[in-house]
């Protein structure tokens, strides 16, 4: 994991918010996927906030997107927000989860 990467987790009602901070690399991607596995069950929406990301490594993006497929059945609605949101969004043709960018 990048030395300056961290994830802040907040739950309100039945929603989960993951605020990503720092540089996003392969290890950071695994950390986010593991947090999604741990916290997303029973949540109606999962928000991934990217405004505090400095850099998204191409390998980190690949790791995140390839592992996101394995947990799609647990996610009903995934919302990406912030300046870097478009860099982490799965392909539009990717079935199984409703994804939106704000």
CATH class of 6-101: alpha beta
Domain ranges of the chain: 6-101
Tokens coding 52:
């505090």
Q: In what order do the strands lie in the sheet with 45-56?
A: 6-12, 15-24, 45-56, 77-81, 98-101
Kindly report the pTM of this predicted structure.
Answer: 0.85
- Tokens 């478009």 map to which residue? 86
Rounded to an integer, the average pLDDT of 6-35 is 93
Rounded to an integer, the average pLDDT of 61-80 is 83
3-state SS class at 43 = coil
Let me know the angle formed at the C-alpha of 74 by 32 and 38, rounded to the nearest 5 degrees.
45
Which pLDDT value is given to residue 86?
86
Rounded to an integer, the average pLDDT of 30-46 is 85
């Amino acid at each position: 994991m990048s030395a300056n990467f961290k994830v802040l987790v907040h739950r309100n009602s039945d929603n989960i918010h993951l605020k990503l901070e720092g540089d996003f690399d392969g290890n950071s991607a695994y950390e986010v996927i593991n947090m999604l596995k741990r916290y997303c069950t029973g949540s109606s929406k999962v928000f991934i906030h990217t405004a505090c990301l400095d850099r998204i490594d191409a390998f980190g993006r690949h790791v995140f997107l390839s592992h996101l497929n394995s947990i799609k059945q647990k996610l009903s609605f995934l919302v990406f927000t912030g300046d870097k949101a478009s860099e982490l969004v799965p392909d539009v043709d990717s079935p199984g989860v409703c994804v939106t960018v704000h």
